[in-house]
Structure 1
């Protein structure tokens, strides 16, 4: 589990989303702290991906607010959020398949333009060559942390699912991440890849101080990795607490986990 955590980075308060007469989210609130790894679990249709869409700016909530470092970002675009340190992966892979693995990480540092990132690096670096060297060093360091050194020159579109998901995580964490949202990151991975995935997520939280929120149906993975778990059911928070407390909660067992084995 993740170690010591810092102050609040991401906060959601009273978030509500309606699809016609259906309430996909109803008054959902959550706080995520720097260095924390938090799991968001629940049955299919509980509202997990909808919550991710709200937090990442893809969907604007009908009620409630989202704050990043204390600033209300409810109406901010996904691009603005990404420029200010919010990263997300999706259930369906979103790699640049015709680029190499290394180039996927280089692009992740290049696209943000003004407001930090590339612009700040160009101002700080005495030459373009120095900037390029720093950018490649960051990519190389993240590839190493993810165990992807040997795949740096491979085309991302040719990778099997588990390796591709690891590249997505590397791309999300390569530079400037404050919050990382992972949507089913262990899907399609082998047991060995899942062990490596845990190591990388812990690296993001412990070494880089990222706040990590993950949606995942692999309950054993979530229970082992996360220091705190939030359970959604029918668009509301059913339970929240440590893995042990959540696993022991009768309401959670009835709605999602099933009888204790």
Structure 2
């Protein structure tokens, strides 16, 4: 059974990319890419290495300004807004390479994500440990503990983030991204390096965020089986273009997708066998085709 509900009762896109183009010198990494993401929807974004997936994430999150097109958040053009502005207005992101504060504890990583709201009184209130400051700090600690529990990380709040195994570190990064409830969550290979049990828990957390909290999720992941199981809709990028879009079943059955990424219909070698780390082993493509 596939993924979460495609959208909540509100069918207005919370995030929309319109005709996005990105160039690196003479190379067009993205060429006229458009997609819309609605509240409560989990959308998978797949394609061979070099297809433009991370570049699209960079454009959506504000790390790279597109050369063409617009980014809309809740109907507002945010193309020129900074990543910080977008994060503070509900757009959060994780990265292929973990971006945790390794010298802070797990709990402190989540508290830091809430500190931008401040607590009034400035530096003086901090130095004097004003009651309002203590109240805000207590609330943020309680929120951090609750999020860690929901992510299956209770009991490790005092551990240093830099000492965690890969699977736990990835889950902590997700927990930090949702320390304040997001409107949009961009997940870049969140299951990479996780055990099967950790992947199962990750799937449950993402479903909860989409179904119960109405968070829109755009998911890049080389584990195609994970994407197909979780997503209500899948978008396939290839060489900077949208190659296909539809339900997991429709995308899996599309001959163009099978030729470019999942393997040929005839069962012969895929047209481009690029593994999840850019090697030419074809392992990921063959695994996806077998599934």
Q: In which range does the TM-score fall when normalised by the shorter chain?
A: over 0.9
Partner in structure 2 of residue 201 of structure 1: 206
User: 1:46-65 to 2 correspondence within 5 Å?
Assistant: 46-65=51-70
Cα displacement (A) at 1:118: 3.9
- Structure 1: tracts of 5 or more residues without a match: none
1:106 to 99, 106, 111: 111
User: 1:171-210 to 2 correspondence within 5 Å?
Assistant: 171-210=176-215
Q: Secondary structure at the match of 1:8?
A: coil
**Cα displacement string for residues 108-132 of structure 1 (whole angstroms, at most 9, x for unaligned residues):** 111x2xxxx4469x9xxx9333322
Q: Secondary structure at the match of 1:212?
A: strand
How far apart, in 1, do the equivalents of 2:222 and 2:94 lie? 15
Preserved CA contact (<8 Å) 2:151 2:171: yes
Give the 3 Å change call, closer, same or farther, for CA 83–241 of structure 1 in structure 2.
same
- The answer to whether structure 1 residue 242 and structure 2 residue 251 are counterparts is no
- Structure 2: tracts of 5 or more residues without a match: 123-130, 266-289
1:140 to 137, 145, 148: 145
Preserved CA contact (<8 Å) 2:119 2:132: no
How far apart, in 1, do the equivalents of 2:241 and 2:209 lie? 28
Give the 3 Å change call, closer, same or farther, for CA 118–226 of structure 1 in structure 2.
farther
User: 1:66-145 to 2 correspondence within 5 Å?
Assistant: 66-110=71-115, 112=116, 117-118=117-118, 127-145=132-150
Larger radius of gyration: 2
Question: Normalising by structure 1, what TM-score?
Answer: 0.93
How far apart, in 2, do the equivalents of 1:21 and 1:100 lie? 44
1:251 to 249, 256, 259: 256
Give the 3 Å change call, closer, same or farther, for CA 69–163 of structure 1 in structure 2.
same
* Aligned-residue RMSD, C-alpha: 1.6
How far apart, in 2, do the equivalents of 1:136 and 1:152 lie? 10
**Cα displacement string for residues 72-115 of structure 1 (whole angstroms, at most 9, x for unaligned residues):** 000111111111111111111100001111110000111x2xxx
**Cα displacement string for residues 130-185 of structure 1 (whole angstroms, at most 9, x for unaligned residues):** 32222122111110110000211111000000100000000001103111111100
- The answer to whether structure 1 residue 17 and structure 2 residue 15 are counterparts is no
How far apart, in 2, do the equivalents of 1:154 and 1:208 lie? 28
How far apart, in 1, do the equivalents of 2:219 and 2:73 lie? 17
Q: Secondary structure at the match of 1:149?
A: coil
Partner in structure 2 of residue 2 of structure 1: 4
**Cα displacement string for residues 53-81 of structure 1 (whole angstroms, at most 9, x for unaligned residues):** 00011111111000000000001111111
Question: Normalising by structure 2, what TM-score?
Answer: 0.83
How many pairs does the alignment contain?
252
**Cα displacement string for residues 18-38 of structure 1 (whole angstroms, at most 9, x for unaligned residues):** 111111100000000111111
